[in-house]
A and B are shown apart, each in its own frame.
Chain A
Amino acid sequence: MASQKFQRRSSSTEPEFTTASLPDIVFMLLIFFMVATVLRETDIQVRTQLPQAEALTKIDQKRLISKVHIGPLKRGENQGQTAIQIDDALIENRRTIRQIMYNKLQEQPQLIVSLKVDQESEMQIVNEVQQELREANALRINYSSNREGPPPS
């Protein structure tokens, strides 16, 4: 009896997924993530909650940008202390900023320094960094800020 049942089943149509379009779906997902993913090249060790503003300009040429992060340290023994991070290194001595920026300016004469400053920082440190940038003659800066209103979900 059992073998007869089995035979009957196998003789009927085998339900099967059509896999012809599976590559399409996979490619679609791949392309979507390629487009939407922003690669974070550095580990940011300071918190930078950006301020909000209205008179914003976009920087389309990403290769001109050099980011300077200013904000309280996220972790470590000096947690909460305001620190400066350029690329992936924390700046111990603020006087070294001019040399770093000068070198960057040699590589990219149209350098734009994007200041990503936490909104609770005090102006003193921002002014100090700006003085250093003037020393290095890196004069194009951009106060990175977000559009006013609730952040887009």
Chain B
Amino acid sequence: MAGLLDKRREDREEASIPTAGMADIAFLLLIFFLVTTTINVDTGIGMTLPPKLKPNQNPPPVKERNLMNVLVNSQGNVLVEEEEATVAEIRDRVKKHVLNYGNDPSLSASPDDAVISIKTDAQTPYSTYIEVLDEVWMAYREIWDQIAQTNTLPNPENSSAGLDQTYSSYREYYNQLGPDEDNQIRDAFGAQISIAEPDTGE
């Protein structure tokens, strides 16, 4: 009897929590966090400033019809081509101006010639300026989205944009570009947004 009891006790001592699966759980959690954690990536609206002009050099001439003036005053009111407008209207106005292809004599002759000029007042809040700039960029984004989706340029001839496939959006096209690859959409349909020089005294 005693021997039997001893044997049982020996069995009990060997019982332990199985740890083989622990590593799997650890890896599962690690992968979960790796996937869900977003490393803080800097995002923003990219711009290129115009180069500094030489002392007696005049800014390059732009035809009045190609220029779309957007003025933002200190109260956040917007003036598009001397008319009052809301921030929400800017997107459609820009698209109309850029995609005119010479139809309306008061709008741009071609998208390559079209220039959107944003001018702000000294007291304009920065957030309003970004809102306006964002709307202008979004107008171009929407045009690029369409080019990416249809692989055709929005000109009257509907010529091909030269992409090897269509994408669901410009963002998708942009994300699959390699670091040295050319952005064909932007090469074919560029955006000219200019930040007007502030007035240096009246």
Residues of A near any B CB (own CB < 8 A)? 11-13, 16, 18, 20-21, 24-25, 27-28, 31-32, 35-36, 38, 51-60, 62, 65, 112, 114-115, 117-124, 126-127, 130-131, 133-135, 137, 139-147, 152
20 residue pairs bridging A and B, Cβ less than 8 Å apart: A20-B22, A32-B30, A35-B34, A36-B39, A38-B40, A51-B126, A53-B130, A54-B134, A59-B41, A59-B42, A59-B43, A60-B41, A124-B198, A126-B129, A135-B52, A140-B48, A143-B130, A144-B43, A145-B43, A147-B43
Instruction: Tally B residues with Cβ within 8 Å of A.
Output: 51
Which listed residue, A21, A56, A127, A135, touches B120 by the CB 8 Å rule?
A127
Interface of B, secondary structure class, is mixed
Nearest CB of chain B from residue A31's CB, rounded to whole Å: 6
| Distance between Cα atoms of A151 and B18 in the complex (Å) | 42
Taking CB atoms, residues of chain B closer than 8 Å to A145 are 43-45, 130, 134
Judging by beta carbons under 8 Å apart, are A142 and B131 in contact?
Answer: no
Query: Which of B8-16, B60-68, B77-85, B159-167 lies at the interface?
Result: B8-16
Nearest CB of chain B from residue A83's CB, rounded to whole Å: 14
Residue ID in chain A nearest B23 by CB atoms:
A24
Interface of A, secondary structure class, is mixed
Contacts A121-B125, A145-B44; A51 near B130 (Cβ below 8 A): yes
Contacts A57-B46, A143-B47; A120 near B41 (Cβ below 8 A): no
Residues of B near any A CB (own CB < 8 A)? 9, 12-13, 15-17, 19, 22-23, 26-27, 29-30, 33-34, 37-52, 120-127, 129-131, 133-134, 137-138, 140-141, 195, 197-198
Judging by beta carbons under 8 Å apart, are B52 and A36 in contact?
Answer: no
Judging by beta carbons under 8 Å apart, are A127 and B122 in contact?
Answer: yes
Which listed residue, A25, A35, A139, touches B37 by the CB 8 Å rule?
A35
Judging by beta carbons under 8 Å apart, are B44 and A118 in contact?
Answer: no
Contacts A18-B16, A119-B125, A122-B123; A28 near B26 (Cβ below 8 A): yes
Most chain B C-beta atoms within 10 Å of own C-beta, residue among A112, A127, A146: A127
Taking CB atoms, residues of chain A closer than 8 Å to B51 are 134, 137, 139
Taking CB atoms, residues of chain B closer than 8 Å to A25 are 22, 26
Nearest CB of chain A from residue B195's CB, rounded to whole Å: 7
Nearest CB of chain B from residue A60's CB, rounded to whole Å: 7
Taking CB atoms, residues of chain B closer than 8 Å to A38 are 39-40
| Distance between Cα atoms of A35 and B137 in the complex (Å) | 33
Which listed residue, B19, B30, B46, touches A140 by the CB 8 Å rule?
B46
Which listed residue, B29, B52, B131, touches A134 by the CB 8 Å rule?
B52
Taking A58-B43, A141-B46 as given, write out 19 further A-B residue pairs in contact, using a Cβ cutoff of 8 Å, ordered by the A residue number: A12-B12, A18-B19, A20-B19, A24-B27, A28-B26, A28-B30, A31-B30, A51-B126, A55-B137, A57-B43, A58-B41, A117-B126, A122-B122, A123-B122, A127-B120, A127-B122, A140-B49, A141-B48, A142-B46
Taking CB atoms, residues of chain B closer than 8 Å to A131 are 197-198
